């Protein structure tokens, strides 16, 4: 059993779920199933029934309580199995007991609580209470109604509604008192008053009762479970003994009996209704059941009203965001700059005191803000966080340099756009130099030289000055800023795409003009080169040979320039989505014969064998000139990278509604690291290709896509490559 000598450091780890004892206003037995054999019993069995608790272990329930009482337990067990809430009673030695059953960790736990006569109908009063709770229109009204009704229902001297704050401590937000009780309304209770393991038990149990905090704990015998050797877990037992430290705490608070009702939100402990009485007070099972119903309804009502309030705030924020988004849509300047005329709307959006908007390094400030240098330093920290929206209500803790300006900016809410230039929207809130009013100094008490824990001795008002903190940013405000950031990001990206499209259009126009203006001079150059070659003397001397070579070089360069101009025009059309093909039915065998016959002499000159074959009666819908351009590129590359004695094969075969073409070689192949990039613009990484522009495969890929087909490559370095493409078959 836990004692009051629990070490100071062990308060938060005190095993309050396995106290090894119960409160004395009832009996407890643990039973095996289905035999209903007693395993453990509370030691007060000797007082109630004259039985030795240690000796009943291993006996049948009927032999311990008697057959009639055992039959009542079996009836109650049937209701437990059927998930019914009807209360059953039995009589032992002339005393009536309420039967309470639950299963936990493989045991059936039987509690026999001394029955009480209810002096008034809890059912009727409960109906009135539930109606009043349901009719509450505001949260404050709901809080006060709940404590007033519960006090009237139970008779406690004090009923308080206690909400857990984000920092972990609790605050009294509703209270109903009898005369002479010290008021706690508005006061805070430190988180250490209810350690984590106690909060978990409150989360698991709707109601917890201590009829008399000065009780003497009743041990459970044997101390350890006979079946497992482990302590008995009493997490769900109504009679579970409580921590002696908590009993001492109640004494210091001036109450002798207590009850708590848990309030949950999203299955987490939101708060408690705590009840206290200056004298011992037992609450009958019927009233406890009513209080459970109140706790459940109150939890739902709190959630409902909070969500309703939050929705109103969200609608207000959504209207502001809509106004800001409309401004971003209407203006063509930088997205951040379009927000500048709406500084007041931005301040209203977050209830902030100051605002800074950074637009490509230009800082604009509104309201109460840190200095420009401080904002730039804070901006760099915000950017480093790498988050969508950054927020803090205690900025000097999260960013220590902010302590220098915490009076102006203890709260921060900010976002940036992922651009290479400096840009951000930053909201600031001043510190709230508040006085937190505690119900006594929030520290545990320890006598000089003592090693044991005692709870706080005083619950008198104790004030604490709090600096460096701002009001919390609400969920509605955070969601609104996230929505604004998402819209700003979308509009910024749209403008970037628009600018890129405009740049592409300008480039296309430039390419068209340049190609048009250069084509005539290049044609003239080719003609002049031809005339010059025809005018060369027939003498085969050194000077004539040098001149002929120079003219040939000029012709080749001019032809290459013509080809490059055509390629640039093709690229512009492909990227602008304006690449067009003139489709017509083509006989595949005849087309391959025509194309490959032209390339066969070039292959023979290099010592490469070029062959082709086609399945019979194949036809495609294709542009003959563009198809010739693709084959010229693929065959040219294959010939360039296939060594003497190599083989190139062109194959055409049916593939469903398409025709599959393959150009296969046994040349040097392509490095696997380069293979994913060969259809990119300007790919020239291939060794042995110093003169390639890197445009041929890119254009070929675009031509095949314009035909409604696809082009891909497979290669093994040192063994060769296969370039394949599919285009729709013809009729």
pLDDT at 611: 95
pLDDT at 78: 94
How distant, in Å, are the alpha carbons of 42, 224, 231, 401 from that of 18?
14, 10, 6, 48
pLDDT at 8: 37
**Token pair for 683:** 């790919």
pLDDT at 127: 81
pLDDT at 379: 95
Specify the DSSP element, H or E, that contains 673. none
Residue boundaries of the structural domains of the chain: 21-114, 119-224+241-309, 357-431, 496-575, 584-728
Q: Report how far residue 456's alpha carbon sits from residue 445's, in angstroms, rounded to the nearest whole number.
A: 5
Sheet strands (E) in 255-388: 257-265, 268-277, 354-359, 362-367
Judge: domain 119-224+241-309, CATH 3.30.450.40. Answer: yes
* Fold that domain 584-728 belongs to in CATH: Heat Shock Protein 90 (3.30.565)
pLDDT at 495: 72
pLDDT at 6: 39
- Answer whether 0.75 is exceeded by the pTM: no
Cα angle vertex 189, ends 183, 193, to 5°?
125
Sheet strands (E) in 590-687: 609-614, 619-622, 647-655, 658-665
Judge: domain 496-575, CATH 1.10.3720.10. Answer: no
Q: Report how far residue 469's alpha carbon sits from residue 695's, in angstroms, rounded to the nearest whole number.
A: 61
Contacts of 109 (CB under 8 A, 6+ apart): 28, 29, 30, 31, 101, 102, 103, 234, 236, 237
What superfamily does domain 357-431 belong to in CATH? Answer: PHY domain (3.30.450.270)
Q: What is the CATH number of domain 21-114?
A: 3.30.450.20
Same-fold call for 496-575 versus 584-728: no
SS3 content of the chain, % helix, strand, coil (to 5): 45, 25, 35
pLDDT at 518: 52
Q: Report how far residue 136's alpha carbon sits from residue 305's, in angstroms, rounded to the nearest whole number.
A: 9
Q: Do 283 and 209 form a contact (C-beta atoms < 8 A)?
A: yes
Q: Report how far residue 427's alpha carbon sits from residue 441's, in angstroms, rounded to the nearest whole number.
A: 35
From the first residue on, what is the mean pLDDT of each consecutive set of 10 residues in the chain (731 residues)? Answer: 38 80 96 95 93 92 95 95 89 94 96 83 75 87 92 93 84 92 84 86 94 96 94 96 89 91 93 95 90 92 87 87 88 83 94 93 93 94 90 93 91 89 92 52 46 45 58 88 89 70 57 53 63 69 74 63 57 60 90 90 90 94 88 90 94 94 94 86 52 66 89 92 94 73
DSSP string across 5-45:
T-BGGGGGG--TT--SEE-SSEEEEEE-TTT-BEEEEETTH
DSSP string across 696-718:
HHHHHHHHHHHTT-EEEEEEETT
How distant, in Å, are the alpha carbons of 354, 493, 499, 702 from that of 506?
43, 20, 10, 21
Q: Do 204 and 17 form a contact (C-beta atoms < 8 A)?
A: no
């Amino acid at each position: 059993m836990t004692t009051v000598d629990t070490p100071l450091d062990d308060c938060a780890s005190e095993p309050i779920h396995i106290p090894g004892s119960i409160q004395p206003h009832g009996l407890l037995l643990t039973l095996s199933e289905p035999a209903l054999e007693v395993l453990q019993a509370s030691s007060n069995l000797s007082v109630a029934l004259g039985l030795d608790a240690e000796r009943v272990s291993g006996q049948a329930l009927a032999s311990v309580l008697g057959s009639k009482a055992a039959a009542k337990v079996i009836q109650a067990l049937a209701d437990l199995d059927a998930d019914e809430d009807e209360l059953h009673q039995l009589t032992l030695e002339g005393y009536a007991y309420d039967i309470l059953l639950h299963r936990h960790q493989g045991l059936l736990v039987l509690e026999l609580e001394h029955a009480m006569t209810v002096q008034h109908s809890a059912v009727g009063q409960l109906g009135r209470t539930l109606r009043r709770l349901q009719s509450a229109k505001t949260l404050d009204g709901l809080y006060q109604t709940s404590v007033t009704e519960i006090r009237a229902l139970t008779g406690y001297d004090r009923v308080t509604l206690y909400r857990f704050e984000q920092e972990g401590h609790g605050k009294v937000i509703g209270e109903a008192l009898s005369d002479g009780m010290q008021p706690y309304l508005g006061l805070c209770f430190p988180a250490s008053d209810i350690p984590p393991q106690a909060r978990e038990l409150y989360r698991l149990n709707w109601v917890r009762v201590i009829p008399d905090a000065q009780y003497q704990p009743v041990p459970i015998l044997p101390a350890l479970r006979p079946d497992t050797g482990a302590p008995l877990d009493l997490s769900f037992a109504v009679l579970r003994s409580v921590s002696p430290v908590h009993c001492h705490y109640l004494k210091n608070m001036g109450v002798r009996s207590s009850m708590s009702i848990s309030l949950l939100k999203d299955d987490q402990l939101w708060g408690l209704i705590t009840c206290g009485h200056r004298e011992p007070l037992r609450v009958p099972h019927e009233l406890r059941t009513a209080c459970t119903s109140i706790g459940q309804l109150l939890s739902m009502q709190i959630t409902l009203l909070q969500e309703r309030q939050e929705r109103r705030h969200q609608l207000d924020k959504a209207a502001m965001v809509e106004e800001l988004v409309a401004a971003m849509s209407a203006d063509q300047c930088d997205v951040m700059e379009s927000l500048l005329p709406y500084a007041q709307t931005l301040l209203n959006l977050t209830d902030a005191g100051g605002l800074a908007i950074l637009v490509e390094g230009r800082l604009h400030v509104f309201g109460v803000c840190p200095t420009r240098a401080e904002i730039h330093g804070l901006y760099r920290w915000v950017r480093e966080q790498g988050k969508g929206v950054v927020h803090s209500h205690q900025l000097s803790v999260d960013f220590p340099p902010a302590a220098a300006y915490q009076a102006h900016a203890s709260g921060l809410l900010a976002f940036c756009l992922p651009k290479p230039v400096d840009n951000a929207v930053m909201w600031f809130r001043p510190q709230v130099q508040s006085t937190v009013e505690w119900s006594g100094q929030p520290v545990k008490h320890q006598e000089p030289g003592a090693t044991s824990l005692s709870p706080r001795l005083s619950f008198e008002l104790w004030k604490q000055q709090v600096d460096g903190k701002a009001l919390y940013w609400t969920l509605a405000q955070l969601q609104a800023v996230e929505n604004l950031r998402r819209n700003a990001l979308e509009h910024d990206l749209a403008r970037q795409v628009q600018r890129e499209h405009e740049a592409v259009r300008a480039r296309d126009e430039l390419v068209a003009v340049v190609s048009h203006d250069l084509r005539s001079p290049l044609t003239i150059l080719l003609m002049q080169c031809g005339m010059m070659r025809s005018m060369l003397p027939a003498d085969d001397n050194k000077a004539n040979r040098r001149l002929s070579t120079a003219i040939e070089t000029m012709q080749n360069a001019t032809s290459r320039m013509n080809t490059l101009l055509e390629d640039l025009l093709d690229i512009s059309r492909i990227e602008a989505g304006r690449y067009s093909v003139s489709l017509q039915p083509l006989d595949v065998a005849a087309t391959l014969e025509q194309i490959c016959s032209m390339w066969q002499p070039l292959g023979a000159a290099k010592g490469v064998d070029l062959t082709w074959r086609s399945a019979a009666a194949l036809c495609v819908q294709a542009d003959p000139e563009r198809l010739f351009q693709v084959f010229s590129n693929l065959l040219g590359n294959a010939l360039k990278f296939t060594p003497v004695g190599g083989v190139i094969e062109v194959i055409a075969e049916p593939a469903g509604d398409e025709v599959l073409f393959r150009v296969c070689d046994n040349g040097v192949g392509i490095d696997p690291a380069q293979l994913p990039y060969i259809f990119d613009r300007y790919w020239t990484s291939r060794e042995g290709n110093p003169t390639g522009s890197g445009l041929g495969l890119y254009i070929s890929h675009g031509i095949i896509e314009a035909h409604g087909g696809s082009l891909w490559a497979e290669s093994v370095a040192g063994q060769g490559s296969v370039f394949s493409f599919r285009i729709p078959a013809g009729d």
